[in-house]
Structure 1
Amino acid sequence: MLLSLVLHTYSLRYLLPTAVMMGSAPTYLLAWGVWRTISCLLPSRIYHQVDDRLYTLYQSMVLFFFENYTGVQVLIYGDLPKQKENVVYLSNHQSTVDWIIADMLAIRQNALGHVRYVLKDGLKFLPLYGWYFSQHGGLYVKRSANFNEKAMRRKLMAQVDADIPMYLVIFPEGTRYNPEIPKVIADSQEFASNQGLAVLKHVLTPRVKATHVAVDAMQDYLAAIYDVTVAYEGTVNPEGHRKEAPSMTEFLCKECPKVHVYIERVDRSEIPGEQLHMKRWLHERFEIKDKLLTEFYESEDPERRNRFPAKCSHSKLSLKKTFPSLLFLGGLTATMLMTESGRKLYLKTWIYGTLIGCLWVTVKP
């Protein structure tokens, strides 16, 4: 009986936020569709400004659950600039929550609407979201030999020409680091060794193509690179070995008490332009990440373990930043579902929006 109650409580902890976040997707897409139709008669600059505000509205609601609802402590090391600027955000990758961490930093700079992602190609088929992320300026890329450099460069340059604010999130590892899948780690280390690069323990060997295209395409439009290293507290097993980072579900179930985020701003002038040189530079940045994470997980000094070797600040996100979005989108969705015609429109948006979106990203990636 007790076990059943615990499991029930556990499931409710993530079912509620999941239902609200996913349930608001058709409402959001309809609102965006109305604006997209109206904006056809307006300058593209105005469309993008409102699109960024709409995106801020939705992502603020998401952050209500991932920050305020979970009560997670966000500890920031280094200097996060107060002013928003055009940047490429580079981070280690170990969990689906990593995408949310980028939003956590962006909202603290009032740049949440400017976030665009470089995503794996297969994610473009996500119901509703896959197509919309592309419309918002996200880029879907294939790995290795199938990487389409021209398509990525063309889309980025179009956004630069339109003077669209850019907070471009890239995970150069491509694949999530998971200690429970040692073959991926071993293959990555073997690749680094064969390339004459330092073998990394707590991160995978970064791939340079997407980063190089992004920096090269945006050139003087880009102000800096944010080099971000993320560690989730509580990801060490009883034997002292690193374990898998929390999934979104586990995170929403409050299984991660603290998130440690180390950020270093690298000015655009310090980044090499030629791809071979950038490959070395990027690997060196990941060597720094590896040392930070080694200190975090393995330090022999208990006081230095589970923290990065620098001063940190506990950054608490105000409810004013997130709760109004929850009330607005949640209320709008509830109002739609109260009427029969609203429910039909809601269901049709899920069905036809998904089908049309998948067709769109297939024909026009």
Structure 2
Amino acid sequence: MQKHHQAHITFSGDEIPEEESAIVMANHRSWTDFYMIHSVAIRKKMLSNCKYFVKDSLKFLPFFGWGMWLMGMIFVKRNWVKDQAKINQMFATINEFKSPVWIISFVEGTRFTPQKLVDSQLFSQERGLPVMKNLLVPRTKGFVACVQKLRNSHVHYVYDLTIAYNHRLEGLRGFGIPPDMLRVHAGRLSPEYDFHIHVRRYPIAELPEEDEALAEWVHDRYVEKDRILERLKDKWIDGVEGGVWTESW
């Protein structure tokens, strides 16, 4: 995306080393998120080792779905009872062969839309959870299982990626608006779009060991991610200096 479509992607947060295995969680706005994650993976020599949790229905898409299947993506039905055996088998294979891997999950479970945000905010209000402005409530069960299954493996870190977009043409300004598929392949993306990725790196050994506490940790990270996105919004839309804009790599 960055090279072929001249998209200017900036980065901030923690430096991560090359060829390090990790569990990766990211917010989910668009299919363009895959390009964003890959922009990090390419720099860290892990592109060929990316494994995604993706919706089972996607495997039936011509070309895209078949490609995902050939790449060994993890197709799930979002039903823990039905998915558990498949996921456990995948964990066992990773543990046995100790292959380099990024296991990538969009913890919100679905792409962000304005209506889903309203529904998520109402849910948060009813449950006494923090109400976020830019993210949906995370679905923690799969992520918690992933961490617990790999806690004593060669996978020692969780990477938390906060992906941000901004469309800034005159009269069409909009924070959080990614390019659609047609626009990505239509030519130069900058300066029409801004792209940013904020990275946090957490040792799994320092994460809570109990499932409930680990789920709460994920919720706390999403509240933090929402604050990061708000600061980026201030930077892009209102021109406020500071925030998370320091580029580290």
Check 1:235–1:301 CA distance in 2 against 1; reply closer, same or farther (3 A cut). Answer: closer
> Do 1:228 and 1:263's aligned partners in 2 also have CA atoms closer than 8 Å?
yes
**CA deviation map 1:180-217 (0-9, x unaligned):** xx2x1111112223333211110111101221121112
Note if 1:282 corresponds to 2:218: yes
**CA deviation map 1:19-43 (0-9, x unaligned):** xxxxxxxxxxxxxxxxxxxxxxxxx
CA distance in 1, matches of 2:80, 2:107: 16
Matched residue, 2:119: 187
How many residue pairs get aligned? The number is: 245
Does the residue aligned with 1:90 lie in a helix, a strand or coil? strand
What is the aligned counterpart of 2:102 among 167, 171, 193?
167
Note if 1:312 corresponds to 2:244: no
What is the aligned counterpart of 1:119 among 54, 59, 65?
54
CA distance in 1, matches of 2:226, 2:125: 16
State the AA in 2 paired with 1:80. Answer: E
Written as runs of structure 1 = structure 2, the 5 A alignment for 1:111-150 is 111-144=46-79, 148-150=83-85
Matched residue, 2:150: 218
Question: Structure 2 length as normaliser, TM-score?
Answer: 0.87
TM-aligned CA deviation for residue 275 of structure 1: 2.3
> Do 1:293 and 1:308's aligned partners in 2 also have CA atoms closer than 8 Å?
no
**CA deviation map 1:76-119 (0-9, x unaligned):** 10133232211011111101110111111011011111111110
- CA-atom RMSD in angstroms: 2.6
State the AA in 2 paired with 1:289. Answer: K
State the AA in 2 paired with 1:287. Answer: V
Matched residue, 2:86: 151
Matched residue, 1:258: 194
Written as runs of structure 1 = structure 2, the 5 A alignment for 1:17-56 is none
> Do 1:84 and 1:110's aligned partners in 2 also have CA atoms closer than 8 Å?
yes
Matched residue, 2:21: 86
Q: Which has the larger radius of gyration?
A: 1
State the AA in 2 paired with 1:87. Answer: A
Check 1:215–1:173 CA distance in 2 against 1; reply closer, same or farther (3 A cut). Answer: same
CA distance in 1, matches of 2:236, 2:168: 17
CA distance in 1, matches of 2:236, 2:105: 32
CA distance in 1, matches of 2:67, 2:109: 21
> Do 1:225 and 1:267's aligned partners in 2 also have CA atoms closer than 8 Å?
yes
Matched residue, 2:42: 107
CA distance in 1, matches of 2:176, 2:165: 10
Does the residue aligned with 1:215 lie in a helix, a strand or coil? helix
State the AA in 2 paired with 1:276. Answer: E
> Do 2:13 and 2:244's aligned partners in 1 also have CA atoms closer than 8 Å?
no
Give % identity: 26
Matched residue, 2:180: 247
> Do 2:27 and 2:163's aligned partners in 1 also have CA atoms closer than 8 Å?
yes
State the AA in 2 paired with 1:273. Answer: E
> Do 1:236 and 1:242's aligned partners in 2 also have CA atoms closer than 8 Å?
no
Q: Give unmatched runs, 5+ long, in structure 1.
A: 1-65, 316-365
**CA deviation map 1:33-89 (0-9, x unaligned):** xxxxxxxxxxxxxxxxxxxxxxxxxxxxxxxxx121211111110133232211011
Check 1:299–1:244 CA distance in 2 against 1; reply closer, same or farther (3 A cut). Answer: closer
